[in-house]
Structure 1
Amino acid sequence: MRLRTLGLAAAAGIAAFLAAFVAVTELLVPYVAFSVFVGIPAGIVVGAVVAAFVLWRFETADAPRQRSLAVALSVFGGALVTAFVLAHFALGQGAVVSILAATLVGALAGIAAFGRERRAAVRSWMDRHRIASFLAVTYAFTWTVQGALAATGLEASWTHSILIGFGGFGPPVGAAVVVAATGGSLRQWVSQAFAWNIGARWWALAFGLPLVVLVVGSALFVALGGPIDLGSFASPAIYLFVLAWGIVWGGGQEELGWRGFMLPLLQERYSALSASLLVGVAWAAWHLPLLLNATTTHGGWGPSQQVLWLFTIVAGSILWTWMYNGTGGSVLAVAVFHAGINAMGLYHPADMDALLPGGVPDPWLNFLAELTGAVPLVALAVIVVVVYGRERLTNGDVPGAETVGLAPGTKQR
């Protein structure tokens, strides 16, 4: 047996031990007093199994799939160990953070190695399961970033916001991987983010509808007895900054994945309304780490407000589809609309001292603010379905796979 194979097996075993040890230990902290004593044997078992598998299959030619997995595990191990040493010893990061970051690096390296070894088979599978592949990469990227952020316990700050936004690049990363792997046109796919020539009407709607949602929602909030403070409005200059930030980093960056990839593929097979709801469910579930992290705004909400917000995302997906289909596939317009909706919170007249007495959210008033903001959004979605019909949600043709730079007509799973 070659010394190189022994080294790779050792690296894979050590990496698997570290990843399993941290995962088991951290997951059991709330339930087991000395979870480390469970994490250590669990890590040893996982590490030994992985090392043995690499030793067994790394140099075999009779089982190419298993050999490819052994190669991927060895690359994962080498990359994880290297990244951990750099993060922990060179950069001075904590052990848990270093292992989480190194696990992400190792996983990406291992996936890339497996892809190289099984390039034709992987590409063929991804071409048959484009949406499943997209969701797998999207969730893996975002949830890993969000998990690492939660593990650090970083409080609200600019660094916190930047990292949250970085995790939001999961959908475009997932779409880019699938488009590239299945022989699509990355240029055609990305061009949707620069489709600005959509007519003054659509730009007026993209910029103006968020204002309509704000006015109607605020009026409902006041009518239902919500406390207001008209002296706390932000400057319009701040709105422009928040809008620009939202387009590129605060929500708009997601749209090349959800609307610019998943939606047109689903519309090859389903009606625009059904496709919207499917995207909406995937989109809402993708946000779950934000709800579980107590350091985020969403994590501080009560369960009823969180559920209402997730429902609003699913309903709002119909409006996003309407704008995407109506503009002939302009991700730019949808990103502006998305960022505009997010930015409207700056101008809600609710009295923040009443919503957060002593820094602690008032459950009823926060739920009322969320509810009254959701009503106009859901009402607009219902109007769109009634006026345009469920099949297309527009008067024109709906964008399909060709808009993404992929061959049309493929039934997706």
Structure 2
Amino acid sequence: MFLAVAFVAAGACGAVQPATGVPPEVVQLTQLGPAVAVAAVALLWPGRIRERLAGTLPGRARARTGAPARRAVALLLTPALIIALCAGGGLLTSGSLPVTSPRALAAHPLALVVTAQLLGACAEEIGWRCYLQPLLRTRFGPVTASAAVGLLWGLWHVPVFAQEPAYAAGFLLATTAMSVILGLALEGVRSNRLLLAGGFHTLINLGMLYVTDESAAATAPMLFLGAAALAAALPWIATARRAAGAAPDRITVATAPVPR
């Protein structure tokens, strides 16, 4: 239900965007698709949606401390690493960096672009990381659930597959790797999940818009983005494996046979 509505709503929003006059470089209305899908699920199963969306918004509980807080900080620093790796790849192969000055988008103030990008990213993330990720997490481990969400997230970007196969492959690698980063970073975080995921997503989109040219439908930059996201995901996976060795996954514990 969620996926069907997310795909259809995104297509409908994309179709009406030209009539709204909203520039796609400011925000793409297709990003509203997952939020519409969450609303549809909430209408049909309100009890279930409350359970899955727990921790989405700021909570009344005490401030985050320990590992979740450190992961939250690391999560918001990771986009800088990904964009830096993309920029380095571009410099090594082409000798130049296609930086876009905010003045080039003078018709759209930087504050407006940042705000719109954050709203669009949160509209996506309330579906992918705040609803679907916790739902799959009840059945699978964090890496498996995150990778599955990332693959679906990538496939949801249907226009990507109008490009050549290498471009689509780079994009799917990027969404899957970034979803793993998000899933592992948000594991155990019980408040502000939407803002953290939306912040990460926004920083990636702004980096693609202003620092690199992954948004220009060129194959090489998209392959750099996929490789950079994978490189950034590896330390997260290694850290999660070390933590799992010290504390078994709750799904493994729940399904382990009871000693007789």
RMSD: 3.9
> Where does residue 377 of structure 1 map in the other structure?
229
Deviations 1:314-365 (A, max 9, x none): 2221011112215236122111111111111244267xxxx9xxxxx7x8xx
User: What amino acid is the match of 1:369?
Assistant: P
> Where does residue 167 of structure 2 map in the other structure?
305
Matched residue SS, 1:385: helix
> Where does residue 93 of structure 2 map in the other structure?
224
> Where does residue 244 of structure 1 map in the other structure?
115
> Where does residue 262 of structure 1 map in the other structure?
132
Matched residue SS, 1:283: helix
Matched residue SS, 1:328: coil
Q: 1:179 aligns with which of 42, 48, 51?
A: 42
Query: What is the rounded CA distance, in whole Å, between the counterparts of 1:337 and 1:179 in structure 2?
Result: 25
Deviations 1:51-102 (A, max 9, x none): xxxxxxxxxxxxxxxxxxxxxxxxxxxxxxxxxxxxxxxxxxxxxxxxxxxx
Query: What is the rounded CA distance, in whole Å, between the counterparts of 1:169 and 1:318 in structure 2?
Result: 22
User: Superposed, which structure 2 residues align to 1:60-139 within 5 Å?
Assistant: 133-139=1-7
User: Superposed, which structure 2 residues align to 1:152-231 within 5 Å?
Assistant: 154=18, 158-161=21-24, 165-184=28-47, 192-195=55-58, 197-198=63-64, 201-228=70-97
Say if 2:76 and 2:200, in contact at 8 Å, map to a contact too.
yes
> Where does residue 323 of structure 1 map in the other structure?
185
Shift of 1:280: 1.7
Query: What is the rounded CA distance, in whole Å, between the counterparts of 1:267 and 1:392 in structure 2?
Result: 15
Query: What is the rounded CA distance, in whole Å, between the counterparts of 1:137 and 1:349 in structure 2?
Result: 32
Say if 1:220 and 1:372, in contact at 8 Å, map to a contact too.
yes
Shift of 1:225: 3.2
Query: What is the rounded CA distance, in whole Å, between the counterparts of 1:307 and 1:337 in structure 2?
Result: 22
Scaled by the length of structure 2, the TM-score of the pair is 0.74
Say if 1:246 and 1:339, in contact at 8 Å, map to a contact too.
yes
Matched residue SS, 2:96: coil
Q: 2:13 aligns with which of 145, 150, 172?
A: 145
Give the length in aligned residue pairs: 240
In structure 2, do the counterparts of structure 1 residues 261 and 233 end up closer, same or farther at CA, with 3 Å as the change threshold? same
Query: What is the rounded CA distance, in whole Å, between the counterparts of 1:233 and 1:223 in structure 2?
Result: 21
Query: What is the rounded CA distance, in whole Å, between the counterparts of 1:208 and 1:243 in structure 2?
Result: 17
Deviations 1:276-308 (A, max 9, x none): 1221222111111x336xxxxxx6x54422331
Say if 1:322 and 1:394, in contact at 8 Å, map to a contact too.
no
User: Superposed, which structure 2 residues align to 1:268-287 within 5 Å?
Assistant: 268-287=138-157
> Quick check: which has more Rg, 1 or 2?
1
Query: What is the rounded CA distance, in whole Å, between the counterparts of 1:211 and 1:285 in structure 2?
Result: 25
Identity of aligned residues (%): 21
Say if 2:5 and 2:33, in contact at 8 Å, map to a contact too.
yes
1:387 maps onto 2:258 in alignment: no
Matched residue SS, 1:327: coil
In structure 2, do the counterparts of structure 1 residues 394 and 320 end up closer, same or farther at CA, with 3 Å as the change threshold? farther
Scaled by the length of structure 1, the TM-score of the pair is 0.49
